[in-house]
Structure 1
Amino acid sequence: MGPRSRVRAAKCQMLVTSFFVLLLGLSLATMAVIMYFGAHSTVISRTSLESNPYKATHCWAFYTGMSLAGLLTLGATLSAAATVREAQGLMAGGFLSFALGFCILAQVTFWRSRNPTQVEDAALDTYDLVYEQAVKTASFVWQQELAAIQDTFLCCGKRSPFGRLGGMEASLCQGEEAAREDCLQGIQSLLRPHQHVLSTLSGIGLALTVYATFLSAFLCFAFRSGHSLDRRGKYAPATQARNRQPQEPSLFRCSQGEPTPRPPSGADAVGDHWGLRGHSEGPRWLQDN
């Protein structure tokens, strides 16, 4: 396979990879918006706690997801445009976007491997704090916030490790609410699928960004060396090849456009020596005399 065939194959692969990277960026943005503005996440993050453990993790996950989605979308758009137009500058921008996206994905993957249940633990800690405030203070505000969380997750209270609940704890779950599942298990069962989807998207994103980075680097160097390779006949962009016109040798151009200079004769040399060159009557007058 020659250089031209390799470049064509790389361009086709770059277009396909950019399409999948664009889909990945849109998926990450959609998931970040759902997790940030969804009812389950909003009801926990907007509690009246002074130090909400879930709110900081919630905001960090949203901004990280949106930044990553923006980088991947930008890289896919720049790489596709650069592949079609054979533009080195656009391809360099796509390479930089893919490299930054890979760094963020690697950091997210490392964080997930070290703290796989950090988001779940933050949500459970927030619920425990609201539950304790509602039980201890018997405040109507805390009971409303606790009821909002339980209605959103379709759960009620939490099971006591001793098997018996106090009077206030038992009064929180009455009637149909008493048949609901434990809120600790309900929150975990609703948040774990989101975490699994996030892990899957992170793995796919790592593979796509690595492949797209190598492709963009190869095409960037190919577009850069296209002018120098053209003289040796290996590779040249099609647009430049059509616009380039063959140039004639300089000797041939002189023979067509300008008279060919003749070597000076003996008489011209003598006339040039006495300052008479250019006067046609000078040498003839000397010969007559």
Structure 2
Amino acid sequence: MGPWSRVRVAKCQMLVTCFFILLLGLSVATMVTLTYFGAHFAVIRRASLEKNPYQAVHQWAFSAGLSLVGLLTLGAMLSAAATVREAQGLMAGFLCFSLAFCAQVQVVFWRLHSPTQVEDAMLDTYDLVYEQAMKGTSHVQRQELAAIQDMFLCCGKRSPFSRLGSTEADLCQGQEAARKDCLQGIRSFLRIHQQVASSLTSIGLALTVSALLLSSFLWFAIRSGCSLDRKGKYTLAPRSPGQKSQWAQRVPF
């Protein structure tokens, strides 16, 4: 396979990779939107507590997700345009993909180092709402607890260390008594959400590594002159004395 054939194949692979990266960015954007505005997360985030343990984690995840979407989308668009035009602007896409790769590696490291941080924050928030609703007399606190339990289709929590008395025993009656424990319900919901996030991260790492390699190859190929679309420039040679005309000469790159 000659150098031009390799460049042609690399260009096709780069365009296909950029297309899949755009789809990945759309998927991550959808997940970030559902995480921020989704009812399950919003009912925990809006709990009226003096200090909500989940709000800080939620805001960090939302900001990180938006940054990753921006880097993936910008890198894919710049790389696709530079590939079609055979421009050295591929380095701009390379930089975006490098930052996206570093961000995803940081997410993987964070998941390995603190695998239950999000789960612990949500469970701690539910515990605080639960205890305030059981101990207090505020109707608002009872409504917040009922909203969380209706959203996760659960009721109460089964703990051998509970000291809340008969109020806790009277919480789940009738049809609500058949519901599962809320701690288990929140864990089950988050497990599915985290599996989707892990899958998108793995796909993103594979695509960004591929895009980095292809960007590097195409950039060096364009720098060395192994392009496909360039035909050279045509200039008119100066007339010599006594010569009426001169054919245009092709001056290759």
TM beyond 0.5: yes
In the alignment, does 2:244 pair up with 1:245?
A: no
After TM superposition, the structure 1 = structure 2 runs for residues 158-173 of structure 1, keeping only pairs within 5 Å, are 158-161=157-160, 166-173=165-172
**Equivalent residues, number:** 245
- Give the corresponding residue for 2:127: 128
**1:37 offset after TM fit, Å?**
0.4
AA matched with 2:116: T
**Distance in 2 between residues matched to 1:236 and 1:66, nearest whole Å:** 36
RMSD: 2.0
- Give the corresponding residue for 1:268: none
Structure with greater contact order relative to length (CA < 8 Å, sep ≥ 6) = 2
Partner of 2:170, secondary structure, is helix
After TM superposition, the structure 1 = structure 2 runs for residues 262-277 of structure 1, keeping only pairs within 5 Å, are none
AA matched with 2:91: A
Normalising by structure 2, what TM-score? 0.91
Identity %, equivalent residues: 67
Q: How has the CA–CA distance of structure 1 residues 13 and 254 changed in structure 2, closer, same or farther, with 3 Å as cutoff?
A: farther
**1:244 offset after TM fit, Å?**
2.3
Q: How has the CA–CA distance of structure 1 residues 104 and 163 changed in structure 2, closer, same or farther, with 3 Å as cutoff?
A: closer
Please list the CA deviations of residues 201-260 of structure 1 after superposition, one character each: whole Å capped at 9, or x if unmatched.
11111111111011112212222332xxxxxxxx3442x31x623765x7x8455259xx
Q: How has the CA–CA distance of structure 1 residues 225 and 180 changed in structure 2, closer, same or farther, with 3 Å as cutoff?
A: same
AA matched with 1:33: T
- Give the corresponding residue for 1:256: 243
Partner of 2:155, secondary structure, is coil
Normalising by structure 1, what TM-score? 0.80
- Give the corresponding residue for 2:249: none
- Give the corresponding residue for 2:57: 57
Runs of 4 or more consecutive aligned structure 1 residues displaced over 3 Å after TM superposition: 162-165, 252-255
Partner of 1:88, secondary structure, is coil
Task: Identify, as 1 or 2, the structure richer in helix.
Answer: 1
Q: How has the CA–CA distance of structure 1 residues 174 and 81 changed in structure 2, closer, same or farther, with 3 Å as cutoff?
A: same
- Give the corresponding residue for 1:7: 7
Gaps of 5+ in 1: 227-234, 259-289
- Give the corresponding residue for 2:69: 69
**1:28 offset after TM fit, Å?**
0.5
**Distance in 2 between residues matched to 1:254 and 1:120, nearest whole Å:** 87
Worse-matched range after superposition: 170-179 or 150-159? 170-179
**Distance in 1 between residues matched to 2:142 and 2:188, nearest whole Å:** 23
- Give the corresponding residue for 2:117: 118
- Give the corresponding residue for 1:98: 97
**1:112 offset after TM fit, Å?**
0.6
> Highest CA radius of gyration, 1 or 2?
1
